[in-house]
Structure 1
Amino acid sequence: MQGKKTYQEKLFHTFQLSNRVPETNFYRRLKEVLHLDFLYKETASYYGNSGQKSIDPVVFFKICLVGYLENIISDRKLIEHASMRLDILYFLGYDIDEELPWHSTIIRTRQLFPEEVFERVFTYVFEMCVKQGMVKGSTQVIDSAPVKANASMDSLELKVPEQDLMSHLADIRHISNRDKDIYRKAKENKAGKEQQQITASAEELKEIKSRNKNWSKNQNQRPGAGNKGSRYTSNKTHYSPTDPDARISVKLGKARKLNYHSQLSVDTSHPVITDITAYHADGKDNQHLSDIVDRLSQRLWRSGFQLENVLADTGYSSGENYAYLESKGVDSYIPPHGTYKGGPAGFNYMKEHDHYICPNGSVVPFKKVFNDYRNQTKKKEYRI
């Protein structure tokens, strides 16, 4: 006989989450091993002694962890998602009839705690992985990824030089038709005075002038030239008033966006993240390597490991980085840039005297070290 299910909501329920979440469920198993009670002492100084009670700091960090594991970056969607998952409710310590914290509370709490508290939680989880034998420590892989900032390209403001703004516009700015439109102003300008002023050199501004001129000439008639983010912008002439630490960056085949630059280190034994930090998105990978290795080697040393090998792609290649890793006794597996040829054709480099011998047999001596502003790297000049 055919069955037909009729739903009628009950007025009273006898229900236990612990009976509904299987023993093999990931979040149930995680709840049994992840004990963050130390956070009560770590965060006590950031709360007053009176007023309404805040969100439990342990619950806050567990919600952040769920967002990472479920790949949800919106706090509003994260709370909606968690409220419909019995295993996540059990992991957070909430019953089915309890309201989860508002998404705005998650935002405010994230701004309340300094970086040191998040670093403490990261280190605690890392040490758990070490105790389980999941970290070898000797070989680390480093790579980067852009992280989208919570700010719009339409809210960008022009940086103001020390001289009059109008004379600045007349001197260096050849704007496209898209830039002549009225900008969407930010409600609050959070940028400091230094971030609102131009710090670029005359050479850099001259290069930007040429790029803006070509952009206004060649780009305005292209399909999509009027779309958001299509105008030419530069970190040297623009800043975000809503998120001053965000920087304009572009990835091949994608539009310019306000991003941060995430640098990630992973142990090769198991895919355990051993270090992660956000940098300004206008920096190059090779500018951050020494800072990453310093911080990474200290963390590994505290856990009884010694960093021996570093693996990274060509973006981390530079003479300074090779010399730095060599001085630390760390073997680097970082390929040089594809354009590197070891010197001009027909010129022989004499390492002991740091000079070249030209095809005519003359010595081409070393002159100076200079900063190449185009890619923010140091270069050596040999000239005769």
Structure 2
Amino acid sequence: MGLGKREHQQSFWVAADKLCNAPRNAFYDRLNQLLDEVKFDEQLEEAVEPYYEKSGRKGIAPGTYFRMIFIGYFEDISSQRGIAWRCADSRSLAKFLGFGPDEATPEHSTLSLTRERLPMEVHRFAFELILKATAENGLLKGKTLGVDATDLEANASLKSIVRKDNGDDWQAYLRKLYFEETGKDNPSDEELRRFDKGRKSKKKVSNDEWESATDPDSRIGKMKDGRFHLKYKAENAVDLETQVIVSAEVYYGNRGDTHTIEDTVNSAKTHLRETCPEKEVQEVVADKGYHSEHVLDVLQNESDLRTYIPEPDRKYQRTWTDKSPQ
């Protein structure tokens, strides 16, 4: 039995031919083949050319950037730092990105800078290229769409909210309320905390009156676990036959399901029309949170789609006397 070394001195250099070859990953190898077939890298490099300087240090290639985004999705990694660490740690993923055994993969800061540099139009173009590749390989049917949404916690704290009318933060707002009710000025932090905890009125925080100073597009809302937080709403339309995402939309966190499903379905139809015109959406499936008379009317009568949306349990009997038969 060999004994483990307690101390190990790293070699100063190692020849590339002495390094072990990265293990093959059939999924990522096949994915690279599909991307090559649709000239993914070439088309992206042409699309992003206006957003890069002609001189200076070369940035990360757009094909490499989007492959790292794919890895985050397939490996279920939500942070850019986690994606960069995973790519640096895995030889097979580095090979998928196009890096040799003696080359370092991009750091998370490079990934963040590239994301800030490229506009939404480039990301949408990359999404359409992927849809085109799936359609050409028989992985996209487009007949039946499943729509569902989830909450995305914003990268901002509730402590950062300010009043829209005067820019006061929460502490300044409490000081004014404290002065109105007690007539005392300059309370201590402890007095403010006791006052805020004990007051019975004006406890609710409205999105009409408050916004985040660091992320104005986020909205205050209740998360799935019951916590109140600044959030967004992500809604996807998925091809139910092949599980391919046809549309991925992000909305304000306080928009309800019945107010966004129409936009998501129309976005999916647009993507299909631009990538594979022969595909046509015919059916939409969603859970009971999407049920409303307006949604059913728009999807069935205006968009000519068959809907499968269950009606939620009602406390009271519905009244249909003022509704049309259709």
Q: Give yes or no for TM over 0.5.
A: yes
Matched with 2:133 is 128
What's the CA shift string for 1:268-309, capped at 9, x where partnerless? 111111111100001101101221121212222341111111
1:318 to 288, 292, 296: 292
The C-alpha deviation readout for 1:200-238, integer Å capped at 9, x for no partner, is xxxxxxxxxxxxx998339xxxxxxxxxxxx85332222
Q: Report SS of the residue matched to 2:150.
A: strand
Query: Matched residues in 2 for 1:342 and 1:151: separation?
Result: 43
CA distance in 2 between partners of 1:273 and 1:147 (Å) = 18
Return the alpha-carbon distance in structure 2 between the equivalents of residues 353 and 105 of structure 1: 58
The equivalent residue for 1:86 is 91
Asked if residue 97 in structure 1 is aligned to residue 102 in structure 2, the reply is yes
Cα distance in 1 between the residues matched to 2:317 and 2:49: 57
Tell me if the contact between 2:151 and 2:224 (Cα under 8 Å) persists in the aligned partners: no
Kindly indicate whether residue 308 of structure 2 is the aligned counterpart of residue 333 of structure 1.
yes
In structure 2, the partner of 1:45 is 50
Q: Calculate percent identity across the aligned residue pairs.
A: 28
| Matched positions, count | 301
CA distance in 2, matches of 1:178, 1:337: 46
Further displaced range: 120-129 or 300-309: 300-309
Give the Cα–Cα distance (whole angstroms) in 2 for the partners of residues 281 and 17 of structure 1.
49
CA displacement 1:100-125 (0-9 Å, x = unmatched) = 32322211211111111111111111
Match of 1:15 in 2: 17
Q: Alpha carbon RMSD of aligned pairs, Å?
A: 3.3
Q: Report the alpha carbon displacement of residue 75 of structure 1 after superposing the two structures with TM.
A: 1.6
Distance 1:28 1:351, change over 3 A: closer
**Matched residue type, 1:125:** I
User: Which residue of structure 1 lines up, in the alignment, with residue 200 of structure 2?
Assistant: 217
Question: Counterparts of 2:298 and 2:19 in 1: how far apart (Å)?
Answer: 54
Give 3-state SS (helix, strand or coil) of 1:73's partner. Answer: coil
Determine which of 270, 278, 281 is the counterpart of 2:250: 278
Q: In 2, Cα distance between the equivalents of 1:141 and 1:178? A: 51
Shift of residue 148, structure 1, vs aligned partner: 1.6
Counterpart-to-counterpart distance in 2, 1:277 and 1:108: 22
Matched, 1:240 2:237: no
* Structure 2 residue identity aligned to 1:30: L
- 2:73 partner SS: helix
Match of 1:34, SS?
helix
What does residue 259 of structure 1 align with?
231
Which residue identity lines up with residue 89 of structure 1 in the other structure? A
> Which residue identity does 1:12 align to in structure 2?
V
Hey, what's the Cα distance between the residues in 2 that align with 1:280 and 1:134? 31
Check the 8 A contact 1:314/1:334 in 2, yes or no: yes
Matched residue type, 2:35: L
> Which ranges in structure 2 are unaligned for 5 or more consecutive residues?
182-188
Report matched runs for 1:189-204 at 5 Å: none
Shift in Å, 1:146: 0.8
* Partners of 1:58 and 1:84 in 2: CA distance: 20
Higher helix share: 2
SS at match of 2:77: coil
**Residues 141, 311 of structure 1: 8 Å contact kept:** yes
* Whole-angstrom CA distance in 1 between matches of 2:198 and 2:210: 16
TM-score in terms of structure 2 length? 0.81
Deviations 1:60-99 (CA, angstroms, capped at 9, x unpaired) = 1111111121222222222122111000110111123323
Give CA-to-partner distance per residue, 1:26-57, whole Å, 9 cap, x none.
22332232232211100001112222222211
